[in-house]
Chains A and B, each alone.
Chain A
Amino acid sequence: MNKNLFLNEMRRNLTSLILWTTVITVLIVITMSAYRTFFENQSKVMGMMSLVPKSALQFKGISNFKDLLSVLGFYSVNNVIYMMVLGSIFSIVLSSNILLKEEYNKTAEYLLTRPITRSEIFFSKISVVAIHIFLLNMVTALAGFICMEVVKNEPFSIKAFLIISLFTFLLNLLFGAIGLFISTLVKRAKPITTFSIGMVLFFYFIHTISKISVSFSKIGYLSPFKYVNTEVLKTNYGLDFGNLLYFVCFTLILTGISYRIYTRKDIYL
Chain B
Amino acid sequence: MNTPIIDITDLSKTYGKSRGIDHVNLKINEGEVFGFIGPNGAGKSTTIRILLNLIFPTGGSARIMGMDVIRETKKIKQLIGYIPSDANAYPAMDVQEFLSYCMRFYNVQNGLNRIAELAELFELDTKRKIDDLSMGNRKKVSIIQSLIHSPKLLILDEPTMGLDPLMQAKFFELLRLENQKGMTIFFSSHILNEVQMLCKRVAIIKEGKIINVEDIETLRKKQLKKVFIEFEDHRNKESLNLDGIESIISREDAELSFMYSGMINELVGSLAERKIANLTIEEPTLEEIFMHYYN
Which chain A residues lie closer than 8 Å to B53 at the CB level?
112
Give A73-117 as 1s and 0s: 1 = Cβ < 8 Å from B's Cβ atoms.
000000000000000000000000000000001111110111111
B294 in contact (CB, < 8 A): no
B 71-112 binary contact with A (CB < 8 Å = 1; else 0): 001110110101010101111100000000110111000000
B105 close to A264 (CB less than 8 A): no
Contact of B84 among A109, A115, A117 (CB under 8 A): A109
When distances are taken between beta carbons in the complex, the residues of chain A under 8 Å from B49 are 267
Contact A109 B82 (CB under 8 A): yes
CB–CB B84/A264 < 8 A: no
Q: What are 5 A-B pairs with beta-carbon distances under 8 A?
A: A4-B105, A12-B92, A113-B77, A113-B82, A115-B105
Query: Could you tell me if A112 and B90 are in contact, using CB atoms closer than 8 angstroms?
Result: no
Residue B55 CB within 8 A of the other chain: yes
CB distance from A265 to the nearest CB of B (A): 8
List which B230-282 residues lie within 8 A (CB) of chain A. none
Q: Mark B158-180, 1 if CB is under 8 A from A, else 0.
A: 00000000000000000000000
Of listed A108, A112, A117, A268, residue having the most chain B CB within 10 A = A112
Give chain B interface residues in 92-143, CB to chain A under 8 Å: 92, 101-102, 104-106
Is B145 part of the binding interface, using a Cβ–Cβ cutoff of 8 Å? yes
Q: Kindly state whether residue B52 has any CB partner on chain A within 8 Å.
A: yes
Chain B residue nearest to A114 in the complex (CB): B105
Q: Which residues of A contact B (CB under 8 A)?
A: 2, 4, 8, 12, 105-110, 112-117, 264, 266-269
Q: How far is the CA of A115 from the CA of B103 in the complex (A)?
A: 11
Please give, as numbers and ranges, the residues of chain A lying within 8 Å of B80 by CB-CB distance. 113
Contact (A115, B78) CB under 8 Å given A12-B92, A106-B86, A107-B90: yes
Give every chain A residue within 8 A of B74 (Cβ-Cβ). Answer: 115-117
| Inter-subunit contact A4/B104 (CB<8 Å) | yes
- Given A115-B77, A116-B74, A267-B55, 10 other A-B contacts at CB below 8 A? A4-B105, A8-B101, A105-B91, A107-B89, A109-B86, A110-B84, A112-B52, A112-B53, A115-B78, A269-B86
Residue from the list B54, B77, B86, B92 in contact with A266, Cβ < 8 A = B54
- Kindly identify, within residues 52 to 80 of chain B, every residue whose CB is under 8 Å from any CB belonging to chain A: 52-56, 73-75, 77-78, 80
Q: Are A110 and B75 in contact (CB under 8 A)?
A: no
> Chain A residues near B52 (CB, 8 Å)?
109, 112-113
CA distance A108 to B86 in the complex (A): 11
- B88–A106 contact, CB under 8 A? yes
Provide the bound-state CA to CA distance between A266 and B89, in Å: 20
| Residues of chain B with a CB closer than 8 A to A116's CB | 74, 77, 105
CB closest chain-A residue, reference B106: A115
- Report the nearest A residue to B20, measured CB to CB: A266
Is there an interface contact between B101 and A107, defined as CB atoms closer than 8 Å?
no
B residues within 8 A CB of A117? 73-74
Return B228 CB to nearest CB of chain A, in Å. 44
Q: How far is the CA of A12 from the CA of B101 in the complex (A)?
A: 12
- Give the residue of A2, A4, A105, A112 whose beta carbon is less than 8 angstroms from that of B54: A112
Min Cβ gap B269→A in Å is 56
Query: Whole-angstrom distance between the alpha carbons of A264 and B101 in the complex?
Result: 26
Closest Cβ–Cβ distance, residue B33 to chain A (whole Å): 20
Complexed CA–CA distance, A13 and B136 (Å): 29
Inter-chain contacts of A115 with B (CB < 8 A): 74-75, 77-78, 105-106
Contact A266 B55 (CB under 8 A): yes
Beyond A115-B75, A116-B74, is A109–B105 a contact (Cβ under 8 Å)? no
Return the 6 tightest CB-CB contacts between A and B, nearest first. A106-B88, A266-B55, A114-B105, A115-B77, A109-B84, A115-B78
**Smallest CB gap from A8: residue in B:** B101
Known contacts A12-B92, A109-B84; decide if A267 and B54 are in contact (CB<8 Å).
yes
Q: Which of A4, A113, A114, A116 has the most B CB atoms < 10 Å from its CB?
A: A113
Establish whether residues A264 and B56, one from each chain, have CB atoms under 8 Å apart when the complex forms.
yes
Q: How far is the CA of A261 from the CA of B237 in the complex (A)?
A: 63
A247 and B79 CA atoms in complex are apart in Å by 43
* Chain A nearest CB, measured from B154 CB (Å): 11
- In the assembled complex, the CB of B159 is this many whole angstroms from the nearest CB of chain A, namely 13
Asked if A105 contacts B88 (CB within 8 A), the reply is yes
Cα A264 to Cα B53 with chains together (Å): 10
C-alpha gap A109/B159 in the complex (Å): 14
Question: B56 contacts A266, CB within 8 Å?
Answer: yes
> Closest Cβ of chain A: how far from B53's Cβ, in Å?
7
B residues less than 8 Å from A105 (CB atoms): 88, 90-91
Contacts of B106 in A (CB 8 A): 114-115
Residues of B within 8 A of A266 (CB): 54-56
Residues on B with beta carbons closer than 8 Å to the beta carbon of A268: 55
B residues in contact with A107, CB < 8 Å: 88-90
